[in-house]
């Protein structure tokens, strides 16, 4: 019996010793020398931890609660996650002490100082294939909340395949997320106040996803910051991206809420559901889009400040297609939409309120060229509804509810159908 027991123990030990050693999957930055004291440069320690995770074949680099100062930038290797304490995106309404900024003290905060005055400098964090940034606050402590913002490079750049930014607060970066030159990016649960650019998307040839991103003036709404952002800021910029999916996004106080542009790589087509822009000079600016169309559904758009607030502007360079479905437009603006270019723009089941704020007789929709569809919409002001200029090629204006008499001016020499619109009796 004693011999059998000893033999069994020998086999158990031999089996245990034969098991392969499991590589670690979590790496704590404090074990590499990082201090969350807002004074010691944490860049070398963080990069060492990230590289160790990559050498192990992937894993999570964990940053406990603290204020980590960065005097340089980070590269998150393939298959590595850089993670703070937050499991849901944090929000801070004005981080100040007697009117001056101070670091946060309630979670994992990255204090970024590199790149002041240099927009084209390296981004603070670069993500690569299957790498993720999650659960942190990115804060620029040298940005003065009472002064005109200083330029900085992008806080985050997303490269490779499947990079992700989750549950991150972009408290006050000059430029937020450069989501270009990658495939299948995922940007989810982001809040904060990017000052010049929020999210820039370009050179995406496989579907990108942006969900639950909200930009508000939580860091500073002082006169100089607000003036800069209102005259220069662009919250969401889309150039070449194929089948972009955007859900539940919002921005406040920018020059342009959603900008669709053309670069060398091309233009955008995609699905935009439940998007919103408040107090923007242009809620939506379309310079170009793909012929497969921008599909904008359940949008809410407001414009009322500035010398010429207009909800939607489609420029003369536009040759693609845009569809607004079940969207609401309000705020005492100049006009709901100004449409130019040879492309097509459609409004279906939309609600238009509060245009012609200066009572100059401006129509809600000014169509200068191209093709337009206005169908099943409600015009809730007793003011001119639509004007078609002479270069308009085609127009269908049918089945709309009008407040007051019909005031649809048709100067087009193209093919136009105006029928079955219901004015107030």
Q: What is the DSSP string of 360-409?
A: S---SEEE-SEEEEEES-EE-SSS--EEE-TTEEEEEEES-EESSS--EE
Measured in degrees and rounded to the nearest 5, phi and psi for residue 355 equal -105, 175
Token pair 């500073």 in the structure block, residue: 220
- pLDDT tens, residue by residue, 243-262: 999 999 999 999 999 999 99
Helix, strand or coil for residue 55? helix
Asked whether 354 and 377 are in contact (CB, 8 A), the reply is no
* The predicted structure's pLDDT at residue 116: 95
* The predicted structure's pLDDT at residue 100: 40
Helix, strand or coil for residue 18? helix
* The predicted structure's pLDDT at residue 194: 98
For the chain, the C-alpha Rg in angstroms (whole number) is 26
CA atoms of 314 and 343, how far apart (whole Å): 9
- pLDDT tens, residue by residue, 59-114: 999 999 999 999 999 999 999 999 999 999 988 776 554 444 455 678 999 999 99
pTM of the full structure = 0.93
* The predicted structure's pLDDT at residue 24: 74
Low-confidence ranges of the chain (pLDDT < 70): 1-23, 94-104
CA atoms of 202 and 221, how far apart (whole Å): 30
Domains of the chain: 25-181+189-199 (2.160.20.10), 233-392 (2.160.20)
Cα angle 147, 153, 156; round to 5? 115
* The predicted structure's pLDDT at residue 423: 96
Mean pLDDT across the chain: 93
- pLDDT tens, residue by residue, 182-231: 999 999 999 999 999 999 999 999 999 999 999 999 999 999 999 999 99
* The predicted structure's pLDDT at residue 25: 86
Token pair 């020059």 in the structure block, residue: 255
- Over the range 45-74, which residues count as b (16 or more CB within 10 Å of their CB) and which as e? bbbbbbbbbbebebbbbbbeebbbbbebbb
Helix, strand or coil for residue 93? coil
């Amino acid at each position: 019996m004693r011999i059998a027991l000893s033999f069994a123990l020998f086999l158990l030990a031999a089996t245990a010793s034969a098991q392969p050693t499991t590589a670690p999957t979590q790496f704590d930055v404090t074990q590499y020398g990082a201090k969350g004291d807002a004074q010691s440069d944490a860049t070398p320690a963080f990069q060492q931890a990230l590289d160790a995770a990559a050498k192990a074949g992937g894993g999570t680099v964990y940053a406990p609660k603290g204020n980590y100062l960065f005097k340089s930038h980070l590269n998150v290797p393939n298959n590595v996650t850089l993670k703070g304490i937050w499991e849901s995106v944090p929000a801070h309404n004005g981080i100040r002490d007697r009117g001056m900024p101070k670091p946060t003290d309630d979670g994992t905060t990255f204090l970024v100082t590199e790149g002041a005055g240099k927009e084209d400098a390296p981004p603070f964090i670069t993500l690569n294939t299957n790498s993720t940034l999650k659960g942190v606050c990115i804060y620029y402590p040298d940005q003065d909340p009472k002064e005109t913002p200083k330029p900085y490079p992008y806080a985050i750049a997303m490269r490779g395949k499947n990079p992700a930014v989750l549950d991150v607060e972009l408290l006050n970066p000059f430029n937020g997320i450069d989501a270009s030159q990658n495939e299948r990016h995922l940007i989810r649960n982001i809040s904060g106040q990017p000052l010049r650019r929020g999210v820039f998307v370009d050179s995406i040839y496989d579907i990108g996803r942006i969900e639950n991103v909200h930009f508000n003036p939580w860091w500073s709404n002082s006169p100089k910051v607000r003036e800069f952002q209102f005259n220069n800021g662009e919250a969401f910029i889309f150039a070449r991206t194929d089948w972009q999916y955007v859900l539940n996004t919002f921005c406040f106080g920018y020059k342009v809420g959603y900008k669709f542009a053309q670069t060398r790589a091309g233009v955008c087509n995609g699905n935009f559901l439940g998007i919103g822009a408040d107090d923007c000079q242009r809620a939506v600016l379309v310079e170009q889009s793909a012929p497969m169309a921008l599909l904008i559904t359940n949008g809410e758009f407001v414009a009322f400040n500035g010398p010429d607030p207009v909800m939607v502007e489609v420029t003369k360079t536009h040759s693609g297609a845009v569809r607004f479905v079940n969207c609401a437009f309000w705020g005492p603006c100049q006009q709901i939409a100004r449409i130019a270019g040879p492309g097509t723009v459609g409004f279906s089941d939309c609600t238009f309120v509060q245009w012609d704020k200066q009572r100059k007789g401006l129509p809600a929709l000014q169509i200068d060229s191209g093709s337009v569809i206005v169908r099943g919409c409600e015009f809730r002001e007793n003011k001119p509804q639509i004007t078609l200029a002479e270069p308009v090629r085609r127009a269908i204006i049918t089945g709309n509810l009008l407040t007051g008499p019909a005031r649809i001016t048709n100067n087009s020499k193209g093919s136009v159908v105006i029928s079955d619109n219901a004015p107030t009796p």
